[in-house]
């Protein structure tokens, strides 16, 4: 459980990102999506396999990343919420300075949103949380009441069926309205989720959002082009968090899953290094 003392020493999320970009020299984010059956196959007979698996991936890749992104559903679906708490605490303790983005995609209003915010920031101690803005700003503001924490708004997501809603209406698509509104309301706490498989929309979101950080999934299993993503840096040459999950954490087998995850992360890291100043 997160405590007030944690916030006394925690830097604001945007400052954490800036420091992480500087330290790592790249935009790589490793997503932690530990499917219990796959984890058991990789660590047969191991008690506490879920947490041990995630810790091993974290330790193998921490020097390469600007963030980690655990997906809450993989923990809550099998009753492993305490493993998620322990994992985030482990990252903060063992790899200080690496921010944790909790991928929860919450989207509700009023008292329900306040409880989801409490869950993300007080129970789990996340530095940032993904939020669905469909219900409007009254569903976003409860998360912004936690000073120094980040809120990553779904903008143009990476899944194939997203365009039917997010790309309409054609003359002023929803994802660009979200990007503009976030840029107008940002107080150093907002970022946007924009998928790598759609480079034209990614570039348009960057233009609409100015220098807001972009969380960019979809360069791994979904096949997004890292080179196109690098064309969407902010004006200071930063501003990207490029996330891959399955292509890294499940890169190997029983004998070498840690080494294979490291190698896969290293390959992607080399493709999403921060460009040298012109």
Q: Supply the residues annotated as catalytic.
A: 105
Give a three-class secondary structure readout of the chain.
CCCHHHHHHCCCHHHHHHHHHHHHCECEEEEECCCHHHHHHHCCCCCCHHHHHHHHHHHHHHHHCCEEEEEHHHHHCCCCHHHHHHHHHHHHHHCCCCCEEEEEEECCCHHHHHHHHHHHHHHCCCCEEEECHHHCHHHCHHHHCCCCCEEEEEEECCCCCCHHHHCCCCCCCHHHHHHHHHHHHCCCCEEEEECCCCHHHHHHHHHHHCCCCEEEECCCCCCCCHHHHHCCCCCCCCCEEEEECHHHHCCCCCCCHHHHHHHHHHHHHHHCECCCCC
């Amino acid at each position: 459980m997160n405590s007030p003392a944690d916030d006394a020493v925690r830097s604001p999320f945007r400052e954490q990102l800036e420091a992480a970009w500087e330290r790592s020299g790249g935009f790589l984010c490793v997503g932690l999506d530990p499917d219990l059956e796959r984890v058991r196959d990789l660590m047969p007979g191991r008690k506490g396999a879920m947490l041990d698996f995630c810790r091993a991936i974290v330790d193998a890749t921490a020097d390469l990343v600007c963030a980690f992104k655990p997906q809450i559903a993989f923990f809550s679906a099998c009753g492993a919420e305490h493993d998620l708490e322990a994992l985030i605490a482990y990252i903060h303790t063992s790899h200080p300075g690496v921010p944790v983005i909790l991928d929860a995609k919450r989207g509700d209003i009023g008292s329900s949103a306040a409880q989801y915010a409490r869950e993300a920031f007080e129970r789990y101690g996340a530095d940032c949380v993904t939020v669905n803005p469909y219900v409007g700003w009254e569903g976003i503001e409860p998360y912004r009441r936690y000073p120094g924490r980040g809120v990553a708004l779904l903008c143009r997501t990476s899944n194939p069926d997203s365009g039917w809603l997010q790309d309409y209406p054609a003359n002023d698509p929803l994802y660009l309205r979200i990007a503009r509104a976030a840029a107008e309301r940002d107080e150093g706490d907002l970022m946007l989720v924009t998928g790598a498989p759609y480079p034209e929309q990614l570039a348009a979101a960057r233009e609409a959002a100015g220098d807001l950080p972009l969380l960019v999934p979809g360069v791994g299993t979904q096949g997004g082009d890292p080179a196109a993503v690098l064309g969407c840096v902010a004006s200071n040459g930063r501003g990207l968090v490029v996330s891959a999950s399955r292509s890294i954490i499940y890169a190997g087998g029983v004998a070498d899953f840690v080494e294979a995850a490291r190698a896969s992360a290293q390959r992607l890291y080399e493709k999403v290094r921060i460009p040298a100043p012109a």
